[in-house]
Structure 1
């Protein structure tokens, strides 16, 4: 068949005509369905003939939605999120789901492609480009053909690939945006962990991908997580299941307490001129897997995304809180050092200052400066930072989603939840710089110090000596430091209550800092709790951490 307009042949043509006819009867608004399929183009002739679907494309927010067919509001829908590393076979699985939903069988000698095969992508291809961080595929108009519902598939192409951690941070933020936006996705039926049958352990990259995505969800989704095993020969995937167990991946389990899984073979699109029986057996493996997975989708309880949004908000606030905490503690400790040096200088030069009130001495004075954002501690390039100009503090970075401080995640009820004075959005800016604490050599006199401290103290404190005022400030800074520690600890406790994966990397990297500071404070109860959380580190967490660090080192080399 020459390349051009799709002209379905044989049994599948009859199916399409029946679908179109039925759709017109059930819903007059689905007349566009008759144009969606016939306007597809032929990619290659043969057995099977390969067709490229031409979905309707819509950019919404920071994501891309691709729709095949017309939505019927009277029909039910099922939503699936696919998670897996590049090369695991997600693209082939999406295409298989689309064909199964449309009612395509092996005997039809046709195969419809929506997403380009990961291994065969090339410049100039007519297949759908996966340039967005989050892709949403919608398959409408085929309800009652194979499935009683329409299908929505969410994919995160390139997550965990060579584009760096900053790309992964953006992807998580965009999933957050998808789940909370008005025209986004507000419920989920399944999370499919896509992995190859030959995987006998989770690679560091796959552990990192699973850890990062699982950290987004609440505990209520555990029974909705299943393994989708690709490139399968139909046998029990013992290696893949053992890999999931070793990495302590939380998921739905069967009566034998094994992870629930479904098998697929990714070769339905291959030329059947050679080894037709083998390819038919492979197709039957996928068909059984599809039947089992779609039955699972039909009976599993839907999960609303409110809990996921709550988890994401808590993680964002935890990260922002601890970042701010670390910076403020650093500032407090520098200030305390400055005050102690000032006390020592005052005592050391007491006699000279009695004779000469303009006697000068030098101390390292702390001040705030602005630094352009660049690859920082974790090798990230931050698109922007929300900073409070009144408190001179960094409240949220990276801030990749909010256009203005008003819409930043750390703003609640018209106030910032992070900066010292909990200032309104109007006191904040979103810029490509952050505040940093620095020191400089400064000349001091007793007279200047008295003016500084007496102008800032309450009436009762003005009666104190200069040394007493300095000691009072040290104690006040210590109390502020203690309060900041408690706030960050409460974020961790709240995550443990609601998060599916509380010890994910996004939390794990903060535990050492909190443990160190609780030791310094001597808070045995909180220290034991944090140490118990850290002890939950498993093979999956360690592998994910190894992969994250390798990406950071690569980013540092690239930056140089």
Structure 2
């Protein structure tokens, strides 16, 4: 009779970088050794953690361009643990690298039909919700479907029990929508070997061995409870993860398209404003030059007849009425003009000319205005050019406005697609707000920028952070505009 095939349980191991995920993975993979050491721990086991080898374990690299996604198969008698180890979130290389991590996780899940549980690893020594952990939880919940919510096990590392736990369990409700039912605290007992080595000269070997045995026994009991909980879960199809990821990708794709339309609209707006300015300039130029036919005028001195005689200067271009209605009788001899009231000595007090230049005449000079229209060729040319420029600018503006209106309609269609995609994403996923996912990404970037206040703001690292922040701010603006 053939032996029954072992039952497989698939675990998705996920957590923040530095949370103790790798250490916990080693515990799972060395489960058999931990049970053995919990029964009998001798002095021969006093070796470093790095010397513990993975027994009864097969390691299979995921078919990916990176070697970060690993799948471990641990044989436990009638049960196989299929552990999918994932890259740690909150990568120091930035948000884009975390997006690559998500893709690796999805690629790994594509090779599986079901997942039994998600093990969320959190460093139990953390006394508060850090900016990085907040961001990591936001990212993790954005790729977890609602169907896995009952199958999440929180593992707090570096702590022996809930009473010693510094972390506020209630803080997780903000990210998962409710309190998570299953949580375990594990202090890696392998780390105690080093401490035991330090105390070998201070304590008896038997006492040290007994202490280590107790720690391994406690860890084995905790792992047994964890496995029992995991085995009680109903299977969740990996298709739920893939479908949620598709919705998230659809959102990102639609936002990218909307951003392109937004940028085009902004460019068109600037062109329209520039064209409007050109129209205004052309109008001003045409108005300035529209009177290219200018009314010319000049004043001329012309004689006007009188019934009396007047002393008039006859010097060239003088046209001076030196003494109107002269009181002395009309005279013709030049020397007699010395007696005219306008003459003082030999010169006229009115025009300044010699008395001999004066005559008695029966007219006087008056100012007569002469006007006529004169065309200014330069102004006429400028007027015609300005009118043509205005017409061309108006045609261009009309074309730009039509193009802008078409872009706005396309953008509105994208907004409808975006809203639908966000609603579907929020309906499928644990994270019910895509907007908060984006805001969390902005917050972690700001946290990194604040933490690098001494860094040159013009450095490539700071510039990349600022560029990422600007890009995310645009995305948030698009989502807000779509929801108006």
Q: TM-score, normalised by structure 1?
A: 0.52
| TM-superposed deviation, 1:154 | 1.7
| In the alignment, structure 1 residue 200 sits paired with structure 2 residue 127 | yes
Residue 181 of structure 2 corresponds to residue 259 of structure 1 = yes
Pick the structure with greater CA Rg: 2
Q: State yes or no: 1:173 paired with 2:108.
A: no
Report the 3-state secondary structure (helix = DSSP H, G, I; strand = E; otherwise coil) of the residue aligned with 1:239. Answer: coil
The residue number in structure 2 matching 1:421 is none
* Paired residues of 2:18 and 2:88 also in contact (CA < 8 A): no
Preserved CA contact (<8 Å) 2:261 2:407: no
Deviation per residue, 1:528-556 (Å, 9 max, x gap): xxxxxxxxxxxxx5xx7543433467697
How far did 1:448 drift? 7.0
Residue 91 of structure 1 corresponds to 22
CA drift at 1:102: 6.9
CA contact (8 A) 1:224 1:252 kept: no
**1:250 alignment counterpart:** 176
- Give the SS at the match of 1:81: strand
5 Å-filtered alignment, 1:368-383, equals none
Q: 2:230 & 2:6 partners in 1: Cα distance?
A: 15
Indicate how the Cα distance of structure 1 residues 290 and 252 shifts in structure 2: closer, same or farther if over 3 A, else same: farther
Is the 8 Å Cα contact of residues 233 and 282 (structure 1) preserved in structure 2?
no
Q: Does 1:311 align with 2:244?
A: yes
Residue correspondence of structure 1 range 181-220 to structure 2 within 5 A:
184-220=111-147
Alpha carbons 1:263, 1:285 under 8 Å: kept: no
**SS, match of residue 191 in structure 1:** strand
Deviation, 1:117, is 6.3
Corresponding residue of 1:137: 72
Q: Deviations over 1:13-40 (max 9, x none)?
A: xxxxxxxxxxxx857xxxxxxxxxxxxx
Q: Distance in 1 between matches of 2:152 and 2:25?
A: 17
Contact 2:20/2:123 (CA < 8 Å) preserved in 1?
yes
Instruction: Indicate the larger mover: 346-355 or 149-158.
Output: 346-355
1:61-92 per-position Cα deviation (integer Å, ceiling 9, x unaligned): xxxxxxxxxxx9x3321111222334432222
CA distance in 2 between partners of 1:250 and 1:552 (Å): 28
Within 1, Cα distance between the matches of 2:173 and 2:252? 25
Aligned to 2:466: none
Which structure: greater helix fraction? 2
2-structure distance, mates of 1:117, 1:166: 33
Range that drifts further, 316-325 or 549-558: 549-558
In the alignment, the residues of structure 2 paired with residue 205 and residue 129 of structure 1 have an alpha-carbon distance, to the nearest angstrom, of 30
Q: Structure 1: give runs of 5+ residues left out of the alignment.
A: 1-24, 28-71, 122-127, 362-443, 451-464, 510-540
Residue in 1 that maps onto 2:158: 231
Residue 559 of structure 1 pairs with residue 461 of structure 2: yes
Q: Which position in structure 2 is the counterpart of 1:491?
A: 421
Q: Mark the CA change 1:206 to 1:507 in structure 2 (over 3 Å): closer, same or farther.
A: closer
CA contact (8 A) 2:9 2:81 kept: yes
In structure 2, the CA distance between the partners of 1:471 and 1:245, relative to structure 1 (3 Å rule), is: closer
Root-mean-square deviation (Å): 4.1
Partner Cα distance (1:167, 1:545) in 2: 15
In structure 1, the residue matched to 2:36 is 105
- 3-state SS of paired residue (2:174): coil
Contact 1:251-1:260 within 8 A present in 2 as well = no
Alpha-carbon distance between aligned partners in 2 of 1:474 and 1:558, rounded to the nearest angstrom: 35
Q: 1:280-334 CA deviation, whole Å, 9 max, x = no partner? A: 2322321221111111111101111112112111112212221221232121122
**Partners of 1:165 and 1:508 in 2: how far apart?**
11
C-alpha deviation, 1:358, in angstroms: 9.2
Q: Is 1:82 aligned to 2:13, yes or no? A: yes
Kept in 2, the 8 Å contact 1:252–1:260? The answer is no
The alpha carbon displacement at 1:171 in A equals: 0.5
Deviations 1:509-532 (A, max 9, x none): 4xxxxxxxxxxxxxxxxxxxxxxx
Supply the distance in 2 between the matched residues of 1:494 and 1:278 (Cα, whole angstroms).
Answer: 53
Say yes or no: does 1:155 pair with 2:85: yes
Distance verdict in 2 for CA 1:117–1:194, change over 3 Å: farther
Which residues of 2 match residues 391-402 of structure 1 at below 5 A?
none
Distance in 2 between residues matched to 1:129 and 1:305, nearest whole Å? 19
Q: Which has the higher contact order (CA 8 A, sep 6+)?
A: 2
1:117, 1:304 → 2: CA distance? 36
Distance of aligned partners of 1:158 and 1:117 in 2 relative to their CA distance in 1, 3 Å threshold: farther
1:224–1:300 Cα contact (<8 Å) kept: yes
1:309–1:359: structure 2 CA closer, same or farther, 3 Å change rule? farther
Tell me the secondary structure at the aligned position of residue 236 of structure 1: helix
Q: Is the Cα–Cα contact under 8 Å of residues 154 and 183 in structure 2 kept in the other structure?
A: yes
1:357–1:447 Cα contact (<8 Å) kept: no
Q: 1:547 aligns with which of 436, 439, 444?
A: 444
Instruction: Give the equivalent residue in structure 2 for 1:295.
Output: 228
Query: Within 2, Cα distance between the matches of 1:466 and 1:203?
Result: 54
**Is the 1:89–1:195 Cα contact (8 Å) retained in structure 2?**
yes
